[in-house]
Amino acid sequence: MEAWQTFAYIAASILFITGLKMLGRAETAKRGNRISAVGMLIAVVATLLAGGLDYTWIVLGLVLGGAVGALAARRVQMTGMPEMVALLNGSGGLASMLVGWAEYVRTDDLMAFSAVAIVLTVLIGGLAASGSVIAFGKLSGRLDGKPLLFSGQKVVNAGLLVIAVLAAALVVAHASGALAGGGALAFAVVLLVALALGVLAVLPIGGADMPIVVSLLNSYSGVAAAAAGFVIDNVVLIVAGSLVGASGLILTTIMCKAMNRSLANVLFGGFGATITAGTAQMEGEVKPLSPEDAYFILEAADSVVFVPGYGMAVAQAQHVVQELAQQLTKNGAEVRHAIHPVAGRMPGHMNVLLAEANVPYEQLVEPDDVNPTMETVDVAIVIGANDVVNPAAKEDPSSPLFGMPIIEVDRARTCFVLKRSMNPGFSGVDNALFLKDNTRMIFGDAKATITAMVAAFKEG
Amino acid sequence: MNPLLLFVFVLAIFLGLELITKVPSQLHTPLMSGSNAISGITIVGAIVAAGEGGLLATVLGTIAVTAATVNVIGGYLVTERMLGMFKRGKDA
């Protein structure tokens, strides 16, 4: 590698680091993203100018991939953002896997260390790629969102992992000359097992755990890129890939904390399929309310908190929620949107939806901010959220949700729950909130319900 | 293969863990898509494979360049679009 190229890669690394740091703060996020994009441009140009390259196929790939990426980024709906992120994770993992494969094919005398790096790149990249495809399928509803468990699943996974390690060892042994022959068969086994593991790892994970899976796959795609850096002896891949691996890991940890669960429990638990419902008896009765009657309560409210969940995304209700929020503000009420970190199907899902609907971000608050003031809230409106407001998380030690931080809407003066039916939430756990004295159930499509409330305000 | 690369790897992981502390939840999605675009750096390896390999390596490399470019362009643009939607009350 020539000196100027090394300097270009160092510059790119600095820009990635600076950009990523700035991406973590609201004031600087936009600039951070652009700075990191400039870093990417420098790295790509430096690679293209290295000389000795036939550009024909490179340009084809750049044009094709650029068109697909730009089109997808422009056309995707904010409700479809989890699927988009899953696809991006998948394409990154796939690219790293193929880089490892291509290096394996075109290098005649592999050193043992490089062979190890290649095998790791293929394994992690392949896992991220196929896992993301399954995650995409679940997120987009093409696959059943429920955890898919079969007996002996753990044995199968463990068996595959053993096969992967053995095949990987064979690849390395062949490459380093300890065994004769090319080891191509062993390599093919590594490739296939990596893809199978990705599928089997994501299938048993339920829809409500998707925020964790998506951030974990994000982390894998970074680690795969770092591993590819070892394969082609390039520091910029290692630096950039590690940064992404670390940031994905941090997000994963935040998500796990917000659900009070360990990563191992998410990955192997098949939550919702294995638990038996809590033993505590539910007492009280359901008190339904019509949107028109709800209007009279809202009209008198001074403080209103919206608690959105995945149901708001499904009903595409974010725009009418903002309309109602504006009517309430006009009516003199203080309006806030309380967002639980794991509400929705990816980290930050609700924030993105509400931002699309022009909700100013000062109105978005986290559970820790809103819970201490809950007694002064006149109306809490729960839209398609369930587990993140289930009081059993605080009160019922036998509940599988026990210990999870929640938004304590049961302490608000009145709580509206917008829901299609009395079905329990994704976790399959009953919600005592629905039967509390200060809770009113408003059944039906959330969008239609809120539209009716807005109409009542406009007439009122 | 240079063993110093392992050193770089370990340091970079630590740097990454220190770099992103206390991210507000509204930035979780942009952080994810923006960092994901960075993982498209594997495009560097893909370009080399597509440009100087034999037949099979060129095929694999070309697919890799395509996938990595989707990752890079899609990731940066969608992050830009999302961040553009975050507004303070006075601009909304």
pLDDT at position A40 is: 98
Q: CA of A64: which chain B residue's CA is closest?
A: B66
Contacts of A132 in chain B (CB under 8 A): none
Q: For the residues A4-20, what does the mean pLDDT come to? A: 96
- Whether residue B91 is predicted with pLDDT greater than 60 in this model: the reply is no
Of A434, A460, A368, A459, residue with least CA distance to A405: A368
Which pLDDT band, with edges at 50, 70 and 90, does A425 fall under?
Answer: low
Q: What gap in Å lies between CA A192 and CA A297, rounded to an integer?
A: 60
Instruction: State pTM to two decimals.
Output: 0.90
Which of A21, A72, A78 is facing B19, going by the closest CB pair? Answer: A21
What is the mean predicted confidence (pLDDT) over A35-46? 97
Q: Determine the Cα–Cα distance for residues A442 and A418; give it in Å rounded to an integer.
A: 5
Confidence of residue B3 (pLDDT cuts 50, 70, 90): confident
The chain A residue lying nearest B80, using CA atoms, is: A30
pLDDT at A46 over 60: yes
Which of A221, A241, A283 lies closest to A95, judged by CA? A221
Q: Residue B61: inside a domain, yes or no?
A: yes
Residue A281 has pLDDT above 60, yes or no: no
Residue B10 lies in a domain: no
Cβ under 8 Å to B: A residues 193-222: 214-215, 218, 221-222
Asked which of A17-21, A421-425, B12-16 is least confident by mean pLDDT, the reply is: A421-425
Burial of residue A426 (number of CB atoms within 10 Å: 0-12, 13-18, 19+): buried
Chain B contact set for A248 (CB, 8 A): 32, 35
Question: What is the sign of the dihedral through the CA atoms of A413, A418, A424 and A427?
Answer: negative
Contacts of A51 in chain B (CB under 8 A): none
Neighbours of A1 (CB within 10 A): 12
A276, pLDDT greater than 60: no
Instruction: Choose among A61, A73, A114: nearest Cβ to B1.
Output: A114
Cβ–Cβ contacts within 10 Å for residue A438, how many? 15
Q: Does A57 touch chain B if contact means CB atoms closer than 8 Å?
A: yes
Pairwise CB contact (< 8 Å): B28 & A40:
no
- Report which residue type is found at A314: V
Distances (CA, A) of A201 to A38, A134, A221, A223, A254: 35, 9, 15, 17, 21
Q: Which of A26, A44, A243 sits opposite B43 (nearest CB)?
A: A44
Query: Any CB–CB contact under 8 A between A27 and chain B?
Result: no
Mean pLDDT, residues A142-166 taken together: 84
Distance from chain centroid for Cα A443: 29
Instruction: Specify which residues A379 forms β-bridges with.
Output: A304, A414
Segments forming the whole domain that contains residue B71:
27-85
The DSSP call for residue B86 is -
Residue A427: the pLDDT is 59
Three-class DSSP category at A390: coil
Q: Higher model confidence: residue A430 or residue A380?
A: A380
Q: Which residues contact B26 (CB under 8 A, 6 or more apart)?
A: A26, A339, A348, A351, A355, A361, A364, B86
pLDDT band for A279, please (50, 70, 90 cuts): very low
CA pair distance A219, A41, nearest whole angstrom: 22
Contacts of B56 in chain A (CB under 8 A): 102, 105-106
Number of folded domains that form chain B? 1
Q: Which sign does the torsion angle of CA A220, A274, A206, A198 carry?
A: positive
Tokens of A421: 């039916």
Alpha-carbon distance of A48 to A58, in angstroms, equals 9
- Parallel, antiparallel, or unpaired: how do β-strands A379-383 and A414-419 relate? parallel
Q: Which of A209, A387, A410, A430 is catalytic?
A: A387
Give me the half-sphere count of Cα atoms (radius 13 Å) on the Cβ side of residue A261.
22
Distance, CA of B34 to CA of A34 (rounded, Å): 10
Confidence of residue A187 (pLDDT cuts 50, 70, 90): very high
Segments in A232-336 forming alpha helices (H): 235-258, 263-269, 291-299, 310-315, 318-330
Backbone angles phi, psi at B21, to 5 degrees: -115, 150
Closest residue in B to A52 (Cα) is B52
pLDDT of residue B1: 61
Chain B interface includes A225 (CB < 8 A): yes
Give the architecture (CATH level 2) of A291-459.
3-Layer(aba) Sandwich (3.40)
The arithmetic mean of pLDDT across residues A91-96, rounded, is 97
Q: How many CB atoms lie within 10 A of CB A459?
A: 7
Which segments of A76-209 does DSSP mark as H helices, in order? 81-106, 112-139, 153-175, 184-202
Q: What is the ipTM of this complex?
A: 0.95
B15 and A CB contact within 8 Å: yes
- Best to test chain B binding among A27, A60, A88, A323 (most B CBs inside 10 Å): A88
Answer with the residue of higher pLDDT: A129 or A361.
A129
B60-79 pLDDT per residue, tens: 999 999 999 999 999 999 99
pLDDT at A73 over 90: yes
Inspect the interface and report whether the beta carbons of A73 and B62 lie closer than 8 Å.
no
Per-residue pLDDT band for A174 (boundaries 50, 70, 90) equals confident
Domain positions in chain A: 1-75, 80-269, 291-459
In this structure, are residues A409 and A434 in contact, taking their beta carbons and an 8 Å threshold?
no
Closest-CA residue of B relative to A322 is B92
Model pLDDT, residue A426: 57
Q: Which residue has the higher pLDDT, A20 or A426?
A: A20
Over range B11-38, report the average pLDDT.
91
The reported pLDDT for the residue numbered A401 is 82
In this prediction, residues A443-455 reach a mean pLDDT of 93
Catalytic residue status for A387: yes
Lowest mean per-residue pLDDT among A13-17, A106-110, A195-199, B39-43: A106-110
**Within-domain flag for B15:** no
CB atoms near residue B4 (< 10 Å)? 9
Mean pLDDT of chain B: 90
- The mean pLDDT value for A104-126 works out to 90
**pLDDT category of residue A248 using cuts at 50, 70 and 90:** very high
Q: Is residue B13 part of a domain?
A: no
Residue contact A249–B17, C-beta within 8 A? yes
Whole-number percent of chain A with pLDDT over 70: 95
Does the CB of A3 have a partner CB in chain B at under 8 Å? no
A291-299 helix and A446-459 helix, angle to the nearest 10 degrees: 50
- Mean pLDDT in residue range A207-224: 91
The pLDDT value recorded for residue A146 is: 75
Nearest CA in chain A to B71: A88
How many angstroms separate the CA of residue A136 from the nearest CA in chain B?
15
Name the residue with higher pLDDT: B22 or A198. Answer: A198
pLDDT band at B88 (very low <50, low <70, confident <90, very high): low
Q: Does B55 touch chain A (CB under 8 A)?
A: no
Q: Is the pLDDT of residue A65 over 70?
A: yes
Chain A contacts of B23, Cβ < 8 Å? 24, 250-251, 254
- Residue B58 maps to a domain: yes
User: Residue B32: its pLDDT value, please?
Assistant: 93
Asked if residue B90 is part of any domain, the answer here is no
Q: pLDDT at position B89, please?
A: 59
